[in-house]
Amino acid sequence: MQVVDGAMLMCSFGAAPGTLGVLPTGKVNSSGKPAATIMDSKPMVNIKPFGMCQSPSNPQVAAATSAAMGVLTPMPCVPMTMAPWVPTDPTVMIGNMVALNDGCQLLCMWAGQITVKMAGQFKQKNP
């Protein structure tokens, strides 16, 4: 499915789902919402927090866990994505960028894997 603004995302180390924000700069809509590309991967702009982070690679979690004598202590999630989404089908393009579909994955610097749980629409499929 084509991913659009408001899609539900999940991080493997996050405690809650997050949402995808897509700015209407691509001028392409799908089911009346801005369609996403693999470049919609910027923390806090496109990728919203996932509640509490449980990754020991996250410096805030590591510090809190150390202060708690080694007991894993989740801290607020601040996504740290450094690269675009990894596409599963690079044949569908939106404005010279690969379209984001619900099979794509995004890696967080704190070792989390971000996936699409709900594309935000149910009409437009990417081949």
Residue 55: pLDDT above 90?
yes
CATH number at residue 64: 2.60.200
Enclosing domain of residue 3: 1-121
Nearest CA to 25 among 94, 125, 91, 83?
94
pLDDT of the residue at 111: 96
What domain count does the chain have?
1
Q: What percent of the chain has pLDDT over 90?
A: 83
What is the phi/psi pair of residue 105, to 5°?
-130, 150
- Domain-embedded: residue 126: no
Structure confidence at residue 124 as a pLDDT band (50, 70, 90): confident
Judge whether 127 lies within some domain.
no
* The pLDDT of residue 25: 81
H or E element at residue 109 = none
